[in-house]
Structure 1
Amino acid sequence: MKLDEDRCYRAVDAKDARFDGVFYTAVTSTGIYCRPSCPARTPKRENVRFYTTAAAAHDAGFRACRRCRPDAAPGSPEWDVRADTVGRAMRLIRDGVVESDGVPGLADRLGYSTRHVHRILVDEVGAGPLAIARSDRAHHARILLETTDVAVTDVAFAAGFSSVRQFNDTLRTVYASTPSELRESARRRTRRTTRPSSSGRIELRLAVRRPFAYEQLLGWLAARAVPGLETVREGTYARTLRLPHGPGVVALTPAEDHVRCVLELTDLRDTMSAVTRCRSMLDLDADPVAIDEVLGTDPLLGAAVRATPGMRVPGHVDGYELAIRAVVGQQVSVAGARTTLARIVAAHGAVLDAESHPLAAAYALTHVFPEPDALAAVEPTGLGMPRARASTVIGLSDAVAVGKLDIGPSADRSALREQLLELRGIGPWTADYVLMRAARDPDVMLATDLVIRRRLDALAVPSGTDPTTSWSPWRSYAAMHLWNLPDLTERQS
């Protein structure tokens, strides 16, 4: 990804927060790299280098600024937009594939050799997969050090490091501090009181680019909240999580410039997985200015975009769950889908231990969404819906359980759509809806959606024309604006 260095420097000189996470500014005279909006004095142009990832800055010998904390910036929107190999690789690394399967596992998912994957990542983003994963591990470790009192040795392994020595060396390289110094600095800065080291609760702020239409986002989630699984209460969205090492609970409270995130985890190794899923749920890495510039000048959508700047496309914390919800919601109202899903969750989901997860008790959350193999083993008559649709739920669950179907932000979008359409009972609307929300495809129009078709008709679109082509590559956001226009009958799940 070639950076326009003159444009980058103008953004740094203007302290433009829109570019935080899009690129990083390294200063040769100090050996520090920052986010573009860093409040420090603007460095001389000849002393500045620009990198597309924090990992590339680390590899070049720079350490993170302690003032602006560039590693905590929103993620680059580039990786959700791009559907090529590099985009998929970055999403897979963000999802923790290198930690779980190593670089060979990453290469296997992409269908290339490890050497080729390393080469294309270095060419495009300035760092290989191990360096990018190491940068993510360092950020993970800093969060645990600053928000919990878990023993430093336990933090090292929870963050994915293979040894305490590797952990110490990496944090010195990235932050020019030892783990103990990072923890003590955070205590002085926040005056945080000590909690028992066994606590699985983590509190942090998730960065977001402005504008942020969080009220519309919360309204969307509230209308579709499944009792026992999730809820929206007093401006906070709370839900249970299926995570690799055990269930968790999260409470997300959006504000204009950040999201307060409270996590309760069974295992701290799931911290970054949970954070990544929450960022996807709330679409926090989107570039609202770029999106609104395209859609806001459109003669059909412009007024709606100007009225609600910063619209987000709700993602999901679990691609499999989202796909099941989309199938259940076919041809029924939102309320009907919620009722059916609540019965399925109560009957087949795992009961959450409220004693171990007091956050769940506070929000009346009782269950975790059923595992794929649990629903795959259910008889169609046991799901409380028409037999054909129940069979589709079972078939979809079986495909996920045996590994034939991978649903999530890192999936190959075109291949996922084809695989979904091959399943009996899944049509274009359901497949596209899954791509839009679970696979984070920003350019899905949902042309067969009845509500969208009615809205386009109401906007007096001339016969034989297709206004949606000018909305690319942000047609998913255009769909959200259409759905959020008044006097429409919702039927999305």
Structure 2
Amino acid sequence: MHTDTERCVRAVQSKDARFDGWFFTAVTTTRIYCRPSCPVVPPKPENMTFLPSAAACQQAGFRACKRCRPDTSPGSPEWNHRADLVARAMRLIGDGVVDREGVPGLATRLGYSTRQIERQLLSELGAGPLALARAQRAQTARLLIETTPLPMAEIAFAAGFSSIRTFNDTVREVFALSPGELRARLPKKRTGTAAGTHTPGVLNLRLPFRAPLNPANLFGHLAATAVPGVEEWRDGAYRRTLRLPYGHGIAALTPMPDHIACRLGLSDLRDLPVAISRCRRLLDLDADPVAVDDQLRSDPLLAPLVDKAPGRRVPRTVDEDEFAVRAVLGQQVSTAAARTHAARLVLAHGEPLDDPEGGLTHLFPTPGALAAVDPASLAMPRTRRTTLTNLVAELASGTIRLGMESDWAEARARLLALPGFGPWTVDVIAMRALGDPDAFLPTDLGIRYAAKELGLPSTPAALTARAAAWRPWRAYAVQYLWATTDHPVNVLPA
């Protein structure tokens, strides 16, 4: 979008927050870059230039605006609804792969050469993987500076910097302030330095999103399907355990009118950017609800549903392998039965952890742990037991990859080749684990019932034909159709 100068100028002049994260405005006279909705008086059009990423702005010598804080914009929706190389690379960079494994590790995961990845990222985003990862480290550092009383040396290494000098230089270059000056600008209560306001390893953050956001189906679904010990709804928040690269964590996510309140308890602060990335992905916070809803409104039978409760998101996952296992456990059984089966696996094979603030007890078991289980010990029908054991064996061996680097078409094909995997199971995994915004469930009984009530075709073939007009947002249409029932997944818990 940044190449459409006229459209970008209009967005900046109208301070349109819908475009935050889509592009950045770099002001040539001040050498500052902003989000489109920056509250200051817009510069003259001839003094604006538009860049596709914060990293590109930083590489071009611009520093972040202190008023609009462009580094805290929602992420571009492009990276979550595309499956090409650039989108997959951006999802992995957001998940911290470059910091942990370097650019060669990123290339290995994607199956391309480092040169090919760098060339494509530079072409589309104006910055290579190292610059994009550096911009993310700068934002992580700012979060830690402003939300914790940690010493700067600890923040530098927790944010992924290799040295304190690099940390200091990067913060000064990006924010035009030293780390100490960034902290000094905030009231004491914002930095957690007042007595009794900070718990070691616990961070309180605000996760931004593009409005509107309807929390009912999003949090309702997560709460209604929560696996005891791994997930819970407590005090108005969805809480769950997180398996992270350097340790584990617990996230508490609370819907607020203009943000999601996020409380993170981490065993290792180096996992902060990964934890944030996975929470955002779980709640589909980088979606563009206006684009989605406008497309779905083009169908006169869907339009009333969209107008009644706009901004529905697709509830996703923080662990793709976990969700695939749970999808198998949920085949042809009720939501309550699926939770019971999953809870048994967690209790028997999950990794225990302590939760001082609630009732969470375990991390969900890994595919490797489940692959070592004696199938005869699984209390479920023999055919589903076979389906599950085949799945976890493929996941554990890496034959099937469902992570952020996965090729959606390849993953679908490999899942369909497994015994016991039909279109419904594959598409629900594609929708919630892979993140395919166009995944569709025409055979789902709830979808067929809703379609019939609305006057849409109710047979799978006819409904699929009608849904062609909803592409590429059919997964969001599923949320609107599901919402026509009184199932608990559609109700925000009290």
**Helix, strand or coil for the counterpart of 1:172?**
helix
Partner of 1:42: 42
One-letter code aligned to 2:206: R
Partner of 1:205: 206
Partner of 1:322: 323
2:431 is the counterpart of 1:432: no
Instruction: Give the drift of 1:225.
Output: 1.0
**Helix, strand or coil for the counterpart of 2:172?**
helix
- The CA distance in 2 between the partners of 1:435 and 1:409, in whole Å, is 12
- The CA distance in 2 between the partners of 1:363 and 1:229, in whole Å, is 11
TM-score, normalising length from structure 2?
Answer: 0.94
Instruction: Give the drift of 1:255.
Output: 1.3
Matched-pair contact (CA < 8 Å) for 2:282–2:316: yes
Instruction: Give the drift of 1:364.
Output: 1.0
Matched-pair contact (CA < 8 Å) for 2:148–2:191: no
Matched-pair contact (CA < 8 Å) for 1:150–1:198: no
- The CA distance in 1 between the partners of 2:150 and 2:390, in whole Å, is 42
One-letter code aligned to 1:56: A
- The CA distance in 1 between the partners of 2:9 and 2:395, in whole Å, is 46
Partner of 1:220: 221
Partner of 2:68: 68
Partner of 1:16: 16
Q: Which stretch of structure 1 is more off in the superposition, 269-278 or 421-430?
A: 421-430
Corresponding pairs, count: 485
One-letter code aligned to 2:38: C
Instruction: Give the drift of 1:404.
Output: 2.3
Matched-pair contact (CA < 8 Å) for 2:232–2:239: yes
Partner of 1:137: 137
Partner of 1:449: 444
Instruction: Give the drift of 1:188.
Output: 4.8
TM-score, normalising length from structure 1?
Answer: 0.94
Instruction: Give the drift of 1:216.
Output: 2.4
**Helix, strand or coil for the counterpart of 2:472?**
coil
2:50 is the counterpart of 1:55: no
**Helix, strand or coil for the counterpart of 2:41?**
coil
Superposition pairs of residues 217-296 of structure 1, within 5 angstroms: 217-296=218-297
- The CA distance in 2 between the partners of 1:185 and 1:397, in whole Å, is 50
- The CA distance in 1 between the partners of 2:381 and 2:212, in whole Å, is 42
Deviations 1:56-85 (CA, angstroms, capped at 9, x unpaired) = 111111011111111111000011122211
- The CA distance in 1 between the partners of 2:287 and 2:34, in whole Å, is 20
- The CA distance in 2 between the partners of 1:6 and 1:220, in whole Å, is 41
Unaligned 5+ segments in structure 2 are none
Partner of 1:398: 393
Call closer, same or farther: CA 1:123–1:83 in 2, change over 3 Å. Answer: same
Which segments of structure 1 move beyond 6 Å, counting only runs of 4 or more?
195-198, 488-491
Call closer, same or farther: CA 1:428–1:28 in 2, change over 3 Å. Answer: same
Q: Which stretch of structure 1 is more off in the superposition, 329-338 or 442-451?
A: 442-451
Deviations 1:269-325 (CA, angstroms, capped at 9, x unpaired) = 110111001001111000011111111231121111111100000011111111111
Deviations 1:73-102 (CA, angstroms, capped at 9, x unpaired) = 100001112221111111121121211221
One-letter code aligned to 1:439: L
One-letter code aligned to 2:129: P
Superposition pairs of residues 476-487 of structure 1, within 5 angstroms: 476-487=475-486
Instruction: Give the drift of 1:348.
Output: 1.1
Call closer, same or farther: CA 1:432–1:51 in 2, change over 3 Å. Answer: same
Superposition pairs of residues 185-204 of structure 1, within 5 angstroms: 185-188=185-188, 190=190, 192-194=192-194, 199-204=200-205
Partner of 1:104: 104
- The CA distance in 2 between the partners of 1:16 and 1:334, in whole Å, is 41
Matched-pair contact (CA < 8 Å) for 2:148–2:193: no
Unaligned 5+ segments in structure 1 are none
Partner of 1:384: 379
- The CA distance in 2 between the partners of 1:318 and 1:208, in whole Å, is 21
Matched-pair contact (CA < 8 Å) for 2:147–2:190: no
**Helix, strand or coil for the counterpart of 1:205?**
strand
Partner of 2:95: 95
Deviations 1:25-82 (CA, angstroms, capped at 9, x unpaired) = 1111111111111111111111111111100111111011111111111000011122
**Helix, strand or coil for the counterpart of 1:238?**
strand
- The CA distance in 1 between the partners of 2:378 and 2:128, in whole Å, is 46
Matched-pair contact (CA < 8 Å) for 1:451–1:489: no
Instruction: Give the drift of 1:5.
Output: 1.1
Call closer, same or farther: CA 1:392–1:9 in 2, change over 3 Å. Answer: same
Determine what percentage of the aligned residue pairs are the same residue.
Answer: 55
Matched-pair contact (CA < 8 Å) for 1:214–1:255: no
2:402 is the counterpart of 1:407: yes
Partner of 2:362: 367
Please report the RMSD computed on the Cα atoms of aligned residues, expressed in angstroms.
Answer: 2.0
One-letter code aligned to 1:377: A
Q: Which stretch of structure 1 is more off in the superposition, 443-452 or 336-345?
A: 443-452
One-letter code aligned to 2:384: R
Instruction: Give the drift of 1:219.
Output: 1.2
- The CA distance in 2 between the partners of 1:198 and 1:405, in whole Å, is 40
**Helix, strand or coil for the counterpart of 1:193?**
coil
- The CA distance in 2 between the partners of 1:128 and 1:155, in whole Å, is 24
Matched-pair contact (CA < 8 Å) for 1:333–1:490: no
- The CA distance in 1 between the partners of 2:216 and 2:164, in whole Å, is 43
- The CA distance in 2 between the partners of 1:235 and 1:413, in whole Å, is 34
Deviations 1:388-433 (CA, angstroms, capped at 9, x unpaired) = 2123222222222222222233321111111222222222211111
2:338 is the counterpart of 1:337: yes
Superposition pairs of residues 73-92 of structure 1, within 5 angstroms: 73-92=73-92
- The CA distance in 1 between the partners of 2:399 and 2:359, in whole Å, is 35
Instruction: Give the drift of 1:488.
Output: 6.5
2:118 is the counterpart of 1:123: no
